[in-house]
Amino acid sequence: MSWIGSLVEFAVKRWQFTVLLFVMFAALGISSWMAIPRAEDPDFPVPIFTVIAVYPGASPEDMEQLVAEPIEKKLNALEDVKKLTSSSSDGLAVVRVEFDPNVDTERRKDQVQREVNALRADLPAALQRLEVKASSNTDLAVFQLALVAPTTPYALLDDVAKRFEDALARVDGVKTAARWAAPPRQMQVTLDLGRMFCPRPDATASSQCTRQRQYANSRRFGGCRHAPVQRSHAGSLSHRR
């Protein structure tokens, strides 16, 4: 008699033990099923990274040649690259790199960040934003809203986007709302050295102070230098839950 026949004979003759064994296995299965973490969108590491570069005023051709192509060459040299895509538009370049699913996601993220940081010195100095974002299956973009105003200053467009961001963040069920593409605001102060020489000249020193101011102005130390006015082409606002 084979061992299979002996096992069947034992299960039939000791049916109480067989029933008890099946009940134990069923209880163990139900307990394991209840202990499994469940979520609508389970969180698992995804080796997909996006490099975002913002260069206000640049044409799509300039963004592709000066920004997107150098980044693509750097990232394409990494190991286990499965797919590499890029898109360029007015003032914006987006490069997306996808690695094989069996790689270490955190390690690949560090490598991508390191390569982008090393490339920063070779990219245009006027880049307002250059960052690496890791894809996450828990961040689902419900919609993206683009604000387009060809003749509106960046400051005004950013104020409008800020109001949209605050309103969306107060909606129930919204995980996060963020705005981007507008460069940070800066303030430039130019000193009038001619006035600093004699802030309140008296009658005897009036002619001397006048000559000093004229000399300072002739050396281009005085007056006010205005930064070029930047015009907005597009802004972007993302809404996530």
Same domain, yes or no, for 47 and 122? Answer: yes
Q: 104-116, pLDDT tens digit by residue?
A: 888 889 999 999 9
| Helix ranges (DSSP H) in the chain | 3-13, 15-35, 60-62, 69-76, 105-119, 154-169, 193-197, 206-218
Q: 177-215, pLDDT tens digit by residue?
A: 888 777 777 778 887 776 666 655 554 555 555 665 565
119-137 burial, b at 16+ Cβ within 10 Å, e below that, comes to beeebeeebbebebebeee
Range of the domain at 28: 3-35
Q: Check which CATH number belongs to the domain holding 65 and give it.
A: 3.30.70.1430
For residue 134, what are the CA distances in angstroms to 50, 153, 219? 6, 31, 51
Please check whether residue 184 lies inside any domain of the structure.
no
Biggest CA–CA distance in the chain, Å, is 130
Same domain, yes or no, for 86 and 44? Answer: yes
Task: Tell me whether strands 129-134 and 92-99 are parallel, antiparallel or unpaired.
Answer: unpaired
- pTM given for the model: 0.50
Q: Per residue of the chain (241 residues), what is the pLDDT tens digit?
A: 577 778 788 878 888 888 898 999 999 999 988 888 776 666 677 889 999 998 888 888 999 999 999 999 999 988 889 999 999 988 889 999 999 988 888 888 999 999 999 998 899 888 888 999 887 766 666 677 888 877 888 788 888 888 988 888 888 878 788 887 777 777 788 877 766 666 555 545 555 556 655 655 555 444 444 444 444 444 444 445 4
Please check whether residue 185 lies inside any domain of the structure.
no
Same domain, yes or no, for 72 and 117? Answer: yes
Same domain, yes or no, for 94 and 26? Answer: no
Number of domains in the chain: 2
Same domain, yes or no, for 56 and 95? Answer: yes
Please check whether residue 218 lies inside any domain of the structure.
no
Same domain, yes or no, for 80 and 132? Answer: yes
